[in-house]
Amino acid sequence: MTAVATYSGIVKKGKIRSLAATELPEGSQVIVLPVAQWDESALVDPLIARRKANGWLVSYVGSVIAQQPQLMQENGRLRWRFAAFLATMGHPLRGPVGFVDVDAYSGEVLTKENDAEELIVNATDIATSLPTAIS
C-alpha cells in the first residue's frame, strides 16, 4: 500500500513554500494539487475514506478491496480516489478493476450503484483467468 500524506503550502514566485517544516525522503513522489483554498483540518482521513470505499465495495461488488488512495480535485470537488482490486483467497490482489471515489470533506461515497456493474464485469474477467487450485 502506498502511504499518502498531505501538506499545505503557498506558491510564491513559482515555488511551493510549505506552511510547516516539512522533510520528505529523497526520491519521494509528490503530487501537487493546486486549489484556491481548502481547509486541510476538515479533510477526511484517507484510512477512514478507505473504510467507506471498502464498505461500498462489499455492498455492491463483492470480493474487491480499495487500495492506493489519491487525493484529487475534479469539477472543483476534492475527493479520495481508490483503486479497487480483486481479492481472492490464495492469489495476490489483481487489478485494478476500477475506482471508488469518496468526498474528501464529507466522507460520502461518490461512486454510484450503477458503476458497480463495470467493476463486477472487470473482476469477473480477471477471476475467470486465474488458475484453479488443485486439492
Residue 60 is predicted with a pLDDT of 95
In a domain, 104, yes or no: yes
pLDDT at 75 over 50: yes
In a domain, 1, yes or no: no
Residue 27 is predicted with a pLDDT of 81
- pTM of the entire predicted model: 0.66
In a domain, 7, yes or no: no
In a domain, 101, yes or no: yes
Element (DSSP H or E) covering residue 120: helix 116-129
In a domain, 59, yes or no: yes
In a domain, 24, yes or no: no
Q: Which residues pair with 16 in a beta bridge?
A: 11
Q: Which of 16-20, 28-32, 125-129 has the lowest mean pLDDT?
A: 16-20
Domain count within the chain: 1
Residue 86 is predicted with a pLDDT of 92
**Whole-number mean pLDDT of the chain?**
82
pLDDT at 18 over 80: no
In a domain, 33, yes or no: no
pLDDT at 52 over 80: yes
- Alpha-carbon distance 73 to 93, whole Å? 27
- Alpha-carbon distance 118 to 123, whole Å? 9
In terms of residue numbers, what domain contains 110? 39-129
- The SS3 assignment for 134 reads coil
**Per-residue pLDDT tens digits for 84-111:** 999 988 788 998 999 999 999 899 999 9
In a domain, 11, yes or no: no
- Alpha-carbon distance 111 to 6, whole Å? 23
- Alpha-carbon distance 89 to 28, whole Å? 32
